Amino acid sequence: MNKKLTLGLGFLILCSACAPSAIDEAPNEDVDTDGTSTPDSDGNDGGEVVLNFWHIDPGEKGAVYERAVERFEENHPNAQVNVLRIPNDDYKQRMVVAMSGGDPDVFHSWGGSWLNEFVEAGSVMSLDQTDVDFDQYLDVALDNATFEEEIYGVPLGVSLTLFFYNTGIFEELGLDTPKDYDEFMTVVETLRDNDYYPLALANQTGWTGAYYQEYLVNRLAGEGLYDDALQREGAGFDDENYVRANEKIQDLVDMDAFNPGFNGIPYDAGQGRQLMYSEQAAMMLITTSFLNNVRDEAPQYEDDLGVFPFPTIEGGEGDGSNLLGSGAPVWSVYEDTEHEELAIELIKELSNEETSIDYMDSTASMSAYEGLQSDDAFVQQFIDLLQDANYLGMPYDQTMPPSVAQVHLDAAQEVLGNTLTPEEAADLVEEAAQNSLD
């Protein structure tokens, strides 16, 4: 990158995310009734080494990993890789059990606090003494897997959270993309007055709606408030700027800025995205994986797709270039793998330049590999925004301790549902933080 970002505390010390449905089996494996992968009956014939590799991604991302595995097996003819894809929520539960039993050798994570729990349990190998070339990865992604100054994973991708919008609707109504929050509110009012849902939201699990609070706090108070509240350094989650952010969210709710029933709609089911594709809704605050969804689900919609960052707030202390984002997937190795050298070679293959280019080209996603540019106009726009950013912070639920993260998501959801006041929501999160962190 051209400049070194100021990284959010979550990238530096302390992850959670989302994905689809049933277990996908690679063609070279069987799956037991309990879901664990086993080698083919001849998997160990001739001294062949079997590595188990688990991840969560279907579709094009999964295909990128399969191609990397094929190259690895070609270069290591004595090795067979059993690839197991497990849906996100099941994956998190399965990994807790699997890591205590020595499986898998190589695994997907989101870095952050999720990975750090396994690190603290002694289940993840430090990569510091290996031959992995860490200089080839973006700092922002690599730091997501760094704990106590040791590196426990290598990254493949980076995502950002941005506003996606329908350029055709904006042109029809003579709207420009808003630079500040007052302009944003005018856009919302104009869209609502012309019978569009200004903002599509599918918030059953809470993380999509929480983006609004997290960005608003950043724009109001700057990047330091969250880090200080998390570290318990002179600030808390009941700070007035958390209350102000919650008030602004309820202003949006009160003016019918969102589609009806948003707190009951699961994001993964795609109903929120369908509101965008069908031109019932004009904007959506979501991760850059939305572009991949568009290309899979409604490729014709891309002709009317635009993107802009979260607007600044007049009088706020936050830099308008500050972004929310995350560095994932991160590939890590089980501490007690019996095949350490091959496992290291596999994570290198899963994150090298060839795989990174394939990942960008095939999935409309940014790579964590240093210095890569993209021929895809959207992906290059994401890269440019990241390079120009003053700060990149991870979503709160990926950096808070799990017990606090769930309270944060629940409280943010209730703010959107108008079932908690702004003050009550802030107090709940602060109480959880005091119980967990003080």
Among 172, 137, 159, 177, residue whose Cα is nearest residue 371: 137
pLDDT band at 9 (very low <50, low <70, confident <90, very high): low
Q: How far is CA 238 from CA 20, 108, 209, 217, 234, in A?
A: 34, 34, 19, 12, 12
Same domain as 288, residue 419? yes
82, 155, 369 from 117: Cα distances, Å: 25, 18, 26
Return the structure tokens found at 98.
């699997």
Q: Does residue 96 lie in a domain region?
A: yes
Q: Do residue 175 and residue 318 come from a single domain? A: yes
Residues 207-252: tens digit of each pLDDT: 999 999 999 999 999 999 999 999 999 999 999 999 999 999 999 9
The continuous run of DSSP H or E covering 155 comes out as: strand 154-155
In angstroms, rounded to a whole number, what is the distance separating the alpha carbons of residues 398 and 392?
A: 13
293 and 426 in a single domain? The answer is yes
Query: CA-CA-CA-CA torsion for 52, 56, 61, 64, nearest 10 degrees?
Result: 0
* CATH value at residue 133: 3.40.190.10
1 located within any domain:
no
What is the C-alpha to C-alpha distance for residues 11 and 394, in angstroms, rounded to an integer? 6
Pair (171, 316) in one structural domain:
yes
* Residue 365: HSE in the Cβ half-sphere, 13 Å Cα cutoff: 26
Query: pLDDT confidence of 173, banded at 50, 70, 90?
Result: very high
Domain check: are 118 and 252 in the same one?
no
- Decide if 359 is inside a domain: yes
Q: Are residues 33 and 169 in the same domain?
A: no
* Strand bridging mode 323-327 / 150-151: unpaired
Asked if 353 contacts 338 with a C-beta cutoff of 8 angstroms, the reply is: no
> In percent, how much of the chain has pLDDT > 70?
89
Residues spanned by the domain of 134: 6-156+328-392
Place of tokens 């699997």: 98
Q: What does the angle CA 404 – CA 203 – CA 13 come to, to the nearest 5 degrees?
A: 35
Distances in whole angstroms, Cα of residue 108 to Cα of each of 53, 150, 328, 359:
8, 18, 9, 15
Alpha helices (H) along 223-326:
224-231, 240-254, 271-277, 289-297
Q: Which phi and psi (to 5°) does residue 162 adopt?
A: -140, 170
> Would you say residue 377 lies in a domain?
yes
Question: Does residue 402 surpass a pLDDT of 90?
Answer: no
In sign, the C-alpha dihedral spanning 285, 289, 292, 297 is negative
Enter the tokens of residue 280. Answer: 């019932």
Pairwise pLDDT comparison (274 vs 58), residue with the higher score? 274
Same domain, 95 and 137: yes
- Helix (H) / strand (E) element for 325: namely strand 323-327
Domain count, the chain: 2
Position 421 in a domain: yes
DSSP 178-206: PSBHHHHHHHHHHHHHTT-EEE----TTS
Helices (H) and strands (E) in the chain, counts: 17, 18
- Is 336 a member of any domain? yes
Its pTM stands at 0.82
pLDDT of residue 321: 96
pLDDT, position 103: 85
408, 397 Cβ separation under 8 angstroms: yes
What residues contact 167, with CB distance under 8 A and at least 6 apart? 304, 305, 306
Concatenate the DSSP letters of all residues of 394-422 into one string. --GGGTS-HHHHHHHHHHHHHHHTTSS-H
Contact 311, 184 (CB under 8 A): yes
70 inside domain? yes
Helix (H, G, I), strand (E, B) or coil at 243: helix
Residues 97 and 183 in one domain: no
- Residue 377: other Cβ atoms inside 10 A: 7
The answer to whether residues 263 and 339 belong to one domain is no
pLDDT for 28? 40
pLDDT at 42 over 50: no
At which of 376, 392, 408 does a domain end? 392
Answer yes or no: is pLDDT of 129 > 80: yes
Sequence-distant (≥ 6) Cβ neighbours of residue 106 within 8 angstroms: 51, 52, 53, 54, 331, 332, 333, 334, 343, 346, 347, 350
Does 129 lie in the same domain as 102? yes
Domain shared by 84 and 184, yes or no: no
Concatenated DSSP letters for 371-397? T---SSHHHHHHHHHHHH-SEEE--GG
Q: Residues 144-172: pLDDT tens digits?
A: 899 999 999 999 999 999 999 999 999 99
Q: Are 309 and 242 in the same domain? A: yes
Lowest mean pLDDT among 168-182, 303-317, 389-403: 389-403
User: What contacts 24+ positions apart, CB below 8 Å, involve 68-73?
Assistant: 68/349, 68/350, 68/354, 68/355, 68/358, 69/26, 69/346, 69/349, 69/350, 71/349, 71/354, 72/345, 72/346, 72/349, 72/350
pLDDT for the residue numbered 88:
76
Q: Using CA atoms, how far apart are residues 313 and 65, in angstroms rounded to an integer?
A: 41
Contact (Cβ atoms closer than 8 angstroms) between residue 112 and residue 8: no
